[in-house]
Structure 1
């Protein structure tokens, strides 16, 4: 089974031999891929919605993996018992929802070895939540697919060193790696924000001045991040 580039990046952070709970599994492609490639030994494919879960069941049956992948309707981690899985995947959902799932499922994540997360928004808040709640971000990756950029992170239990605002926003591990895809993203964001700043120069409204200040702060963080590549 072929995964999208985004989902391959998620799968690439899963430790071999894992027992996986894929939260918000949608079509069930991720657990099927992890089992068929030998990365995971067993998996739970869960989703809050019946429709996607029905599709996942069909795909799992067709793949011949029904004996190794269990489907389960679940609101986040609520139908997952502590100790059932050592790895949680949450990919393709908003950062606020990722944080809610983690916050509501502390009893479950407390028994897990790793969290593989690919939030679609509010990535800074997700990183901040993790390092503020007993997790350390051990690995990160980033891919571009169809003009969109997707950061992925692996979190394990442990304490983290302090993060700067730029590291929270763009990823300490990605910056340490001088990740080429992150550099592409930073350069694109710099161009976009410089264009906005130029357009705002001609306006005297209070809101425009406030927005100009916000843009200038964002550009300073981008320059700080780009400094890691020099």
Structure 2
């Protein structure tokens, strides 16, 4: 394992972890992120949490091989179960679906009292996380979008604050696309949402051929609404 170099995705996540943080990395993927931060950024303490025995053993092996057992505690458990109250002030959760990340945070709310920052990287459905943050008084303070190996990832950074602050111009659009990402609109953002629109159109056309029911009608209306939001967002940039 080369802890001096992370994948582009994890390197982007690592930028948002404060150097003096006490970190919990949930679903730690061989403990790559905490090992990198401990070796290269002087991270003082980290928990690498894994829910399955195989990944837990792999993370434990890597931490021992790097001589970091005094800094990184590898723990087996579901979500935030691996954290004691007051033990960490930053949590990273990367490489899962947005709905799963939101449920992990929701199930472990009692562990968040001492946490100052959340760095979250959903593979899909970032909107699920944005909604959870608003409902639980976390303010989104930054976002990043990047492409690696043909896949596009979003990173959401959040701290305690006013959860509604970032959503000023068009909350529905900003919830779906990301308030900071809509503002910046780089090429990766445009690529992601152009592809999403094409996919929704394919689904819409398939539904057109399906038997009409209230469920399919609702699904069609939902798709039309999302396409309109994306079209409007992309036109903002073109106008």
TM norm. shorter chain > 0.5: yes
**CA shift at 1:153, angstroms?**
0.5
SS of aligned partner of 1:103: helix
Q: Secondary structure at the match of 1:85?
A: coil
Matched, 1:218 2:221: no
User: 1:1-230 maps to which residues of 2 (within 5 A)?
Assistant: 1=3, 2-38=5-41, 40-161=43-164, 163=167, 164-194=171-201, 203=209, 205-206=211-212, 212-230=220-238
Q: How many residues align?
A: 229
Contact kept? 1:178, 1:228, Cα under 8 Å: no
Larger displacement relative to structure 2 (116-125 or 132-141): 116-125
Runs (5+) with no aligned partner, structure 1: none
**TM-score when normalising by structure 1:** 0.89
Which portions of structure 1, spanning 4 or more consecutive aligned residues, are displaced by more than 4 angstroms? 194-201, 207-212
Q: CA deviation at 1:23?
A: 0.8
User: Which range moves more in the overlay, 99-108 or 126-135?
Assistant: 99-108
CA distance in 2, matches of 1:161, 1:194: 31
Deviations 1:53-109 (A, max 9, x none): 111111111122222111111211123112211100111122232122211222221
* CA distance in 1 between partners of 2:102 and 2:201 (Å): 32
- In the superposition, the TM-score normalised over structure 2's length comes to 0.86
Residues 206, 46 of structure 1: CA spacing in aligned structure 2 closer, same or farther, 3 A cutoff? same
CA gap of 1:45–1:197, structure 2 versus 1, over 3 A, is: closer
Q: Secondary structure at the match of 1:110?
A: coil
Structure 2 stretches lacking a partner, 5+ long: none
In structure 1, how many angstroms separate the alpha carbons of the residues matched to 2:70 and 2:212?
62
**Structure 1's 50 and 200: CA in aligned 2 closer, same or farther, altered over 3 A?**
closer
